[in-house]
Amino acid sequence: MTLCKDLVRIKRGDEVVWKEVRTETPGYNDAVVRLNFSASGDDGSAACYYAYNAVDDTALALSDPLSSYATSPSKMQLDGRSMALIF
């Protein structure tokens, strides 16, 4: 979640005020971090997608669902536009 917020800050280049942060972990599909924010008086939104990255289900995955996903997003949308991510 922190990396997604940092990417928004870098892309926007101005002060960001977070309004809502939601995380969706839909089983074996990509996890999604959805952010709603305000920057320079305008409302915006972002979504970062993290690939499912677990070999098998474990107790850790049950207690921390995000542990089954990659630590870097595979794709990102900022204000409805897809952004290229190169790490």
β-bridge mates for residue 58, sequence order: none
Asked whether the beta carbons of 16 and 39 are under 8 A apart, the reply is yes
Please choose, from the candidates 79, 74, 80, 20, the residue with its C-alpha nearest in 3D space to the C-alpha of residue 49. Answer: 74
pTM: 0.83
What is the residue-level pLDDT of the chain in tens, covering all 87 positions? 889 999 999 988 889 999 999 999 888 899 999 999 999 889 999 999 999 887 777 777 667 778 888 889 999 999 999 988 776
Rounded Cα distance, 29 and 7, in Å: 22
> Which 3-state string (H, E, C) describes 25-81?
CCCCCCEEEEEEEEECCEEEEEEEEECECCCCCCHHHHHCHHHHECCCCCEEEECCE
